[in-house]
Amino acid sequence: MEQDAAMNSALAKQDYLYTLISRGGDASESQVIGSHVDNWLAPRDPSRVLGGMADAATHIVSLTVTEKGYCHNVVTQELDLTHPLIQHDLEPSNAGNPKSAVGYLTEALERRYVAGDKPFTVMSCDNIQCNGDMLSDLVQQFAAAKGGALGSASGLAGWIERTVAFPNTMVDRITPGAADADRQLLEKQFNLVDEVPVSCEPFLQWVVQENFVDGVRPAWEDAGALFTADVAPYEMMKLRLLNASHSVLAYTALLRGHELVHQAMADPLVRSHVKAYMSEVTPSVPNVPGIDLSDYKDTLIDRFSNTALPDTVHRLAEDGSMKMAGFAAPAIQQLLTDSKGSPDRLRAAELAVSCWVACIADPDISGLIKEPRQLELEPLAKAAMHGTGSGDASVWGFLELTIGAAIASDSGFRTGVHDVLNDMRKDGAANVVAQRVSKLGA
């Protein structure tokens, strides 16, 4: 992206080397990473990027572009054909100058197809359930939208479906990004000057589906990666327990006035809400080979509480409409379906969604958070929060637009959120969080 120009320049000056700082407990470890050999800024040289991807010597193209980088509807999982980047890339006159990730992938694959070359493997590493399957669908939808012979089942779209491998993956490592303190630490403690270090936690888990074109891939298992035929259990465990709980933590902490994640986790109310939410959604997580979920959840609490890795609540709260739809909604919907009308409510989840609504409705909080759908969601959030018009209808509208019609249609869950927001309006959001969390029993 254009905003990556500074990183591009810094990496070039450093011969594409950077430092990885692993921080946990009282110790920090640093390692210079030498696997990068070049860094191309796509907006300034799209032909070079497309040429590299289309080169038959390239076997794997991987992506880490965040949830919003796929230009899709996170509720329906369909390609958003109204997205400006997608519309730009579908315009025939813009061939050779794509702007979206899906556009780059499709055009590079088209060049392979026309040349009669084998495709590359497309490997998504983003926090999206079944990320490979989803990306496969999006690229095929984009190819079909191009129309003509290329968009047909016997053309490019069909070739992609039949021959391109899109392995599902799960990557788990909290990586907030480096701050000035990290650069100072490197210079003082290790005598290294690095403009673009990466700061992370010691924990690392990478699970990859064994699905590559002609089986061609590096021996990443030598570095600790786990290859498996089915990534889904690992994905669901991580997305529903770690990623969703990160969002629960963030919105609860914002209403409690916290800025740093480890400080928020030292607040018994925030900590209790996170633990209660994890406990509540655990029945939606399948058995994971070699993993004890109780131990895994305890480890998550410890990781969230890591004082050596300063992470901000605002970072975790970014892109909430993407994260809540992708991480929390599938578990909530499954639990509502499985309960079959049980009177037991998802109290921690109802409170979590209510905290999210309250944050979007509060200009003092929302102004500090990057939310791509803020203008769209703010009126509904304010109406639901402040009871203007039909409160229940406003809650319904917000839930349907963000986490799906199935959840919005569940009268018990919708009423639960409505009741929490009513109490927040009367007693204040922070007070209601304290009152509600004390009743969760975590």
DSSP symbols for 312-365: BHHHHHTTHHHHIIIIIHHHHHHHHHHHTT-S---HHHHHHHHHHHHHHH-HHH
Integer Cα distance of 244 and 274 in angstroms: 9
Helix-helix angle 429-437:268-281, to 10 degrees: 60
219 phi and psi, to 5 degrees?
-85, 65
Assessment of whether the complete model's pTM goes beyond 0.85: yes
Give the per-residue pLDDT at 389. Answer: 47
The CATH 1.10.1040.10 domain(s) of the chain lie at: 232-437
Integer Cα distance of 418 and 357 in angstroms: 11
Integer Cα distance of 435 and 393 in angstroms: 25
Encoding tokens for residue 352? 């979590």
Q: Kindly report the CATH class assigned to 232-437.
A: mainly alpha
* Residues in CB range of 85: below 8 A, 6 or more apart: 71, 99, 100, 103
Q: What is the pLDDT along the chain (442 residues), one digit of tens a residue?
A: 999 999 999 999 999 999 999 988 777 788 999 999 999 999 999 999 999 999 999 999 999 999 999 999 988 889 999 999 999 999 999 999 999 999 999 999 999 999 999 999 999 999 999 999 999 999 999 999 988 767 677 799 999 999 999 999 999 999 997 778 889 988 988 888 999 999 999 999 999 999 999 999 999 999 999 999 999 999 999 999 999 999 999 999 999 999 999 999 999 999 999 999 999 999 999 999 999 999 999 999 999 999 999 899 999 999 999 999 999 999 999 999 988 545 567 999 999 999 999 999 999 999 999 999 999 999 999 999 887 544 578 899 999 999 999 999 999 999 999 999 999 999 999 999 999 999 986 4
Give the per-residue pLDDT at 345. Answer: 78
Dump pLDDT digits (tens) for 394-441: 899 999 999 999 999 999 999 999 999 999 999 999 999 999 999 986
Beta-bridged to residue 86, according to DSSP, are none
* Strands ordered across the beta sheet of 27-33: 27-33, 18-24, 198-200
93 phi and psi, to 5 degrees?
-70, -15
45-168+211-228: CATH topology is Rossmann fold (3.40.50)
Encoding tokens for residue 103? 């556009």
Integer Cα distance of 374 and 371 in angstroms: 5
Q: Which of 243, 319, 317 minimizes the C-alpha distance to 281?
A: 243
* Residues in CB range of 238: below 8 A, 6 or more apart: 127, 170, 172, 205
Beta-bridged to residue 122, according to DSSP, are 61
CA angle at residue 205 from 170 to 243, to 5 degrees? 55
153 phi and psi, to 5 degrees?
-65, -25
DSSP symbols for 282-295: GGGSPP-TT--HHH
Encoding tokens for residue 197? 């270090």
Task: Determine how β-strand 121-124 pairs with β-strand 60-63.
Answer: parallel
Integer Cα distance of 29 and 219 in angstroms: 24
Dump pLDDT digits (tens) for 150-195: 767 779 999 999 999 999 999 999 999 777 888 998 898 888 899 9
The CATH 3.40.50.720 domain(s) of the chain lie at: 45-168+211-228
Other residues' Cβ atoms within 10 Å of the Cβ of residue 134: 21
